Amino acid sequence: TKPVDVDELKVVVKKALEMSRLTREVQRLRLQVASEHEFPEIVGRSKAMGALLRQVQLIAGSDSTVLLQGESGTGKELIARALHQSSPRRDRPFIALDCGTIPETLLESELFGYVKGAFTGASTNKKGLWEEAHSGTLFLDEIGDIPLSFQAKLLRVLQEGEIRPVGSTKRIMVDTRVVAATNKDLKSEVRAQRFREDLYYRLAVVPLRLPPLRERREDIALLIDHFMTKYCTRTHQARKQLPSALLRQLMESPWPGNVRELEHTIERAVLLSPGSEIERESVVLDHVALDPATRTSDVQAITEAHALLDNVEREKLRQALVRTGNNRVHAAKLLGISRSTFYEKLKRYHLFDESSESAPLPPCSRRVS
* pLDDT tops 70 at residue 353: no
Task: Indicate the pLDDT class of residue 132, thresholds 50, 70 and 90.
Answer: very high
* pLDDT tops 80 at residue 143: yes
Q: How far apart are CA 39 and CA 268, in angstroms?
A: 27
Closest CA to 101 of 369, 359, 363, 346: 346
Closest CA to 76 of 156, 141, 5, 129: 141
3-state secondary structure of 70: coil
Q: Provide the mean pLDDT of the chain.
A: 83
Beta strand pairing call for 172-173 and 162-163:
antiparallel
Residue 344: predicted pLDDT: 78
Residue 340: predicted pLDDT: 75
* pLDDT tops 70 at residue 296: no
> Which of the residue ranges 72-81, 153-162, 203-212, 227-236 would you say has the lowest mean pLDDT?
227-236
Domain ranges of the chain: 47-211, 292-362
Amino acid found at 344: E
* pLDDT tops 50 at residue 36: no
Cα Rg of the chain, angstroms: 24
Residues 6+ apart with CB under 8 A from 85: 39, 94
CATH superfamily ID and name for 47-211: P-loop containing nucleotide triphosphate hydrolases (3.40.50.300)
Beta strand pairing call for 94-98 and 66-69:
unpaired
Q: How confident is the model over 237-245, as a mean pLDDT?
A: 89
Q: How confident is the model over 175-179, as a mean pLDDT?
A: 97
Q: How far apart are CA 131 and CA 87, in angstroms?
A: 19
Residue 307: predicted pLDDT: 61
Prediction pTM value? 0.69
Same fold, 47-211 and 292-362: no
Residue 149: predicted pLDDT: 92
Q: Are 361 and 102 in contact (CB under 8 A)?
A: yes
Q: How confident is the model over 289-303, as a mean pLDDT?
A: 44
**What's the CATH code, domain 292-362?**
1.10.10.60
Percent above pLDDT 90 for the chain: 54
Residue 23 DSSP code: H
Higher-confidence position of 16 and 168: 168
